[in-house]
Every structure is written in structure tokens, then in C-alpha cells.
Amino acid sequence: MSKLLITNAGYGHTLSIIRNMAKDGIEIIAADTGKLACSCYSRYVKKCYTYTSPSKNEEKFISDLIEIIKKEKPDVFLPVSTETTVIVSKHKDKLKDLVKVPIADYDQMLTAHDKFKSIKLAEETGVPYPKTFILDSLDSLDKILNELGLPVIIKARLGTGIFARVNSKKEAIEKIKEFENVRCIKGVIEGKNPLIQEFIPGQIHDACVLFNKGKLRAVLTQKRLRTLPINGGPGILNETTNEPELIRYAEKLLSKINYHGPGLVEFMIDERDKKPKLLEINPKLWGTSNMSIAAGINFPLLAFKMAVEGDIKPVWNYKVGIRHKWPIPNGILYLKQSKNKIRDGLDLFNCFGKKNHCGLSIKDPLPDFFQISRMIIREIFPKKFNQWIENKFKKN
């Protein structure tokens, strides 16, 4: 039987990947920083390990993984989060004789992960993108804001979810100072200066891709109908689409750097001219992997086969209009911000019908029950108590 080692066992989409990979007869070994990871309670996980948090000790994180790999001897190793994927890419040479790792090499990873580098890549390949500046110092802020107008988007060069829309110079300065304290992945960041971009009104669309040494092997497009936070961020209600222009742009970008492995290319469809503008590239497996699988493209399985066999036949066909939701806990958090709770609640909690998927499993209920229980505990008990619980079960 083939064997997979997968990280970030506490993520909802890791659980979805595990359930679907197990259906294809693959033995699953999961791992996370602590024992409270929901996937560790899945019937489809043979063993669950803990590793040192990469944010605390990068070298120990890698040595923990090597120890697990030597013990379990998996055929393929799939990191899931941005942090684990980037750091594993950085240390791929230490793993290459032990296990197959279908992710990009470090140079490719940095080009995709660094938002300014990806904007420069878009410029080189003729892919549209927002006007973008790197803030060298607060002295240049007035000039940039005059050039772009308000509102603007301020985002860190690295990481996901580290961004803000600001409507005044005062707000901009506050956010810039917040970003100065953002922890960056060791050895990845080239500078702490954030990006300032023009605000593009519209809807976020993604191209989900799998590349084999610069050759596109599978692709699917999707749009984000609901995000958390509400004004933009990760999608918690998504729908598959068919957008050939997004596919063309994603292929131009990533084939240029000989990209390898799974990734998500994020665009904003500009409501002013209806054209897509590149926002960023996420060089990893994405949160809506379960929707991709339900639509007919099992990207994690394809990545597994590509790693083992060297290549796969391209997969282009999938179902359009498939929806994926994260009702718990993200749906609950969204409704707290929503102005139309009845409408949004019906959308986010409708898990019925062939086109609606919520990542829940009747055959594997314990991880879902565990996630719901953890959400209730976080809501009821003080923050300090919840932090104590997390630390108690984390690997030192």
C-alpha cells in the first residue's frame, strides 16, 4: 500500500484531503504541532505525530520531520500550510533521498511567495496587475497616496491574510506600524517594507493549478462568494467556474519560472473594465481542495501520483457550479460580521444537494465533532484558558 505523510493535521482542508486520499487506498500518516489537531481523530489516519512549530525552531521542525519520515517511510510527503510548505522547500535537499516532495524548489517558491517578486513576474509576462509600490519609508507615503488615490491596499510581502484596506493617511500609518511587528518566516523575507497597491473593486477569482516542472498538468477556476473577513480574504463560500483567461494568465506566470507542484493564483476581476488583475500567488495546496475534488479534479492525489510516477496525464475537465462552504467555525464567525444573517446563514449552512459541499463526513464524524467542541470551548472560556490548553498539548 502507498503511504502519505501530511502536515497541518489541524486544518479543515487537510482533513478533507486525508479523507479523499484514503478512499484511493493510500495509508495516511498525519502530523501537526500539537495533539489537538482534528485530523488525528479521523478513522482514516493510521498514525498521528507531533513536530516542533516551524515558527519557533525551523531546524528542529525539519529534524522532527526527518525522524518521522525515517520511521514511517512514506512514499510522498505533502506539506499544507504556507509556512510549512516554504520551509520544507528551503530544506528539500535534506529530504530528497528519503521521500518524494511534490512542491516547488526554493527559488521558484520565493518568486511565487514574495508578493513583490510575483508582481515583477506579472510585469515580465504581460499579466495585468494593480499599481504597486514598496514603501521605503514613511517619508514617501504622501507621494504614493497621491499617485494611487484612496482607498489603497497595504499588505506584507510574505504570508497570507496580512493585508488591510485603508481610507486615509492616518489609517495607513497605523497599519504600516502594525506590519512592523508581524513575524516573518526565518530566512524568507528580504525586507519588512510592506506593499501599497491601488484598490481594485471587484470579485476575487482563483486559478487552482498543478505543474510538473513548468508544464501545466491540471487546472480549475473558482470564485469567492463569501470571504472572512467580509471585505476580502480566504474564501469560506466558493464556487467552481470556467475562466479561460485566468488559466492562460496562470500558465504564463508559472511556466516562466518552471514552477512545480500545486498552487493557487489569485486575481481580482476589475468591475471597471471586467479584466483580471493579479493579486498574489499562493504556492501551496489551497483551502478549497475538497471543492476541487468534488468538481472532478483531485489535486492532492494527482500530486501524489506525479511524485511517484514522474508525470501524469493532464486533467482539464471538471464540473462548474460546485460550491464549497466552511460552516463551522468560519460560517459562525462570518455571521457575526454579516448585516444579512438570514440570507448568509442559508447560503453557508446549506450542505444539501449534489452541488453543495461542506467538508463534513457522516462516515468519519469524530473530527467534525472535535472541531465543533473546540469552537464552543473557545467561545465560552477565557482566552488565557484556551491558550493554556493549546500550549499544554503542543510539542515543545
Closest CA to 387 of 339, 396, 377, 87: 377
Mean pLDDT of 52-59: 93
Band of residue 370 on the pLDDT scale cut at 50, 70, 90: confident
How many other CB atoms are there within 10 angstroms of residue 194's CB atom?
26
CATH fold of 3-101:
Rossmann fold (3.40.50)
Domains 3-101 and 131-198 belong to one CATH topology: no
User: Is the per-residue pLDDT at 161 higher than 80?
Assistant: no
Query: Peptide bond before 201: cis, by omega within 30 degrees of 0?
Result: no
Position 386 pLDDT exceeds 80:
no
Q: Which range, of 178-182, 251-255, 364-368, averages the lowest pLDDT?
A: 178-182
Question: Which residue has better confidence, 229 or 75?
Answer: 75
Q: What ranges in 206-353 are assigned the alpha helix state H?
A: 244-256, 289-295, 299-309, 332-337, 341-348
- In the chain, domain spans: 3-101, 104-128+200-361, 131-198
Give residue 385's pLDDT.
59
| pLDDT band (50, 70, 90) for residue 369 | confident
For residue 2, the one-letter residue type is: S
For the sheet containing 261-270, what is the strand order? 276-282, 261-270, 202-212, 215-227, 235-241, 323-325, 356-357
pLDDT of residue 371: 79
189 pLDDT tier (thresholds 50, 70, 90): very low
Query: Each residue of 231-244: pLDDT tens digit?
Result: 777 788 899 999 99
| H runs (alpha helix) in the chain | 12-23, 58-72, 82-90, 92-95, 106-113, 115-125, 141-148, 169-179, 244-256, 289-295, 299-309, 332-337, 341-348, 365-380, 383-392
Window from 15-19, 38-42, 133-137, 182-186 with minimum mean pLDDT: 182-186
Residue 384: C-alpha distances to residues 329, 371, 380, 389, 390 (Å): 20, 19, 12, 9, 10
Q: How far is it, in rounded angstroms, from Cα 148 to Cα 137?
A: 17
Three cell numbers, residue 254: 508559472
Closest CA to 205 of 349, 320, 125, 299: 320
pLDDT at 187 over 60: no
Mean pLDDT of 136-160: 87
pLDDT band for position 358 (cuts 50, 70, 90) = confident
> To which residue does cell 446563514 refer?
345
Cross-strand bridge partners of residue 165: 153
Predicted confidence (pLDDT) per residue in 5-43, tens digit: 999 999 999 999 999 999 999 999 999 999 889 999 999
Q: Is 180 helix (H, G, I), strand (E, B) or coil?
A: coil
Structure confidence by residue, pLDDT tens digits, 190-212: 446 788 999 999 999 999 999 99
Q: What rounded mean pLDDT belongs to the chain?
A: 89
CATH of region 131-198: 3.30.1490.20
- Structure-block grid coordinates of residue 174: 497605523
β-bridge partners, 31: 49
Query: How high is the pLDDT of residue 190?
Result: 41
> Beta partners for 270?
202
- Residue 185 confidence (pLDDT): 47
Burial class (CB in 10 A: 0-12, 13-18, 19+), 233: middle
> Model-level pTM?
0.92
Q: Which residue has the higher pLDDT, 384 or 167?
A: 167
User: Crossing angle for the helix pair 383-392 and 365-380, nearest 10 degrees?
Assistant: 140
Contacts of 12 (CB under 8 A, 6+ apart): 38, 287, 326, 359, 371
Q: What is the mean pLDDT of residues 63-90?
A: 97
Answer yes or no: is pLDDT of 50 > 60: yes
Topology of domain 104-128+200-361 in CATH is: D-amino Acid Aminotransferase; Chain A, domain 1 (3.30.470)
